[in-house]
Structure 1
């Protein structure tokens, strides 16, 4: 029988960042494997578990331990991202639990598509969920992700709200894809109905990951799409603010 500390996950990479993957300076571990194929994904190298390095919980915790004092002093913590960390729920659960035992702030960066895989024990070890909502409208969601249904994400968001687990909702604004006024209004109204949303981040689409597609021999679907102008990004943020949401 595998002990919790010997659980093995597929870890693509990890780094230290500030103000990107949660509050303060974060140790962010990127797990390999994702069920979605978002048109604007900037990390196609994390799509498959085979692209990760087999890593036990103890091994990842040893890496985190090297930075434990620094990230605590810096008011940060540990974020599990991806890929999609809920594709590896047992590994994710144990790492989060161990981080919580060390007194470290924990964050889960997820699309919510596999939210049903997060049991109560896993969520009990989470201080913050960074919920990447691709779109509220089902048709737009399918276009963005090239698979799947938005229903699991919305269900997961309501579950987090009911459990009073803090959320940062992230939404990528893509010209001609997710920038429709009706879709933005619908998502803002949905987010406003959740009790534990601390902030909304409207992130402008960019093509900074296009070189990864080239290296993998893949076509970047949005290679001809320009970043949205600052005025369009701010207009989307105004919609969320009009619903009483703290928006950046």
Structure 2
């Protein structure tokens, strides 16, 4: 008997992404997430049981027609979400298939891995680049902002450093939540010794996903929060950059 092919549960696909990793990227947004970020712009991707099932073979058949564009300028594929790390076995098999086609792989994750299982280890190995979203280093604020502790995300950052895995850090600047100097210093201090980090990307908070919250019948608690000013972004950038990393926004 043949084993059934492994299936992944996905939310959506973007075939020409330009902001989730180097070059042009085919991005798969995986379904399911354990964090409940107050600013989540894909709240409909949180439900672990929604989305559609797909096999690696079916996914690769969609990617092949874009291969010519994706192999230019260091482009490739990105596993995003939701949270791709919740489906490590499927993402690893997909990444292996992409490598056979000469495509680079990027894991866009919040790093919520309770245990460093073989599945997680294999996934990191197959990821040419990891974009790690660190929401807030102050754990008390993190719990209020996302609903859970940041301990696993920080452990994951340290694991990436131990493995010397090529990493970009992403940090969303949310006024009143992550735009204070103390939080910026905490991020700088955490990442200072991590020489595997190529850069830290600051992402200004926006309300582009607010309508999805309303469609779900959920209250968007940050609807009155304005995007951070250029002065705020410059201030946070300067603080974090003082710890030695390239910081962009």
Q: Output one character per residue of 1:44-88: Cα deviation in whole Å (capped at 9) or x when no partner.
A: 010113331111111111111121122102430000000000111
Match of 1:126 in 2: 127
Compute the displacement of 1:164 (Å): 1.0
Task: Tell me whether 1:139 sits opposite 2:140 in the alignment.
Answer: yes
Compute the displacement of 1:203 (Å): 0.8
Q: Quick one: distance in 2 between partners of 1:90 and 1:3?
A: 15
Q: Output one character per residue of 1:105-126: Cα deviation in whole Å (capped at 9) or x when no partner.
A: 1000000012635532221111
Compute the displacement of 1:10 (Å): 0.8
What secondary structure is seen at the aligned counterpart in 2 of 1:202?
A: strand
Q: Alignment RMSD, CA only? A: 1.6
Q: Quick one: distance in 2 between partners of 1:151 and 1:55?
A: 32
**1:127-206 correspondence runs (5 A):** 127-146=128-147, 148-206=148-206
Q: Quick one: distance in 2 between partners of 1:98 and 1:234?
A: 41
TM-score (norm 2): 0.94
**1:59-138 correspondence runs (5 A):** 59-114=58-113, 116=116, 118-138=119-139
Consecutive unaligned residues in structure 1, runs of 5 or more: none
Q: Quick one: distance in 2 between partners of 1:240 and 1:16?
A: 33
Q: Quick one: distance in 1 between partners of 2:14 and 2:210?
A: 20
Consecutive unaligned residues in structure 2, runs of 5 or more: none
Compute the displacement of 1:19 (Å): 3.4
Runs of 4+ with deviation above 3 angstroms: 1-4, 115-118
Q: Tell me the matched-pair count.
A: 246
Task: Tell me whether 1:246 sits opposite 2:246 in the alignment.
Answer: yes
What secondary structure is seen at the aligned counterpart in 1 of 2:74?
A: coil
What secondary structure is seen at the aligned counterpart in 2 of 1:49?
A: coil
Q: Quick one: distance in 1 between partners of 2:192 and 2:136?
A: 15
Q: Output one character per residue of 1:21-50: Cα deviation in whole Å (capped at 9) or x when no partner.
A: 000000000000001100111110101133
Match of 2:12 in 1: 13
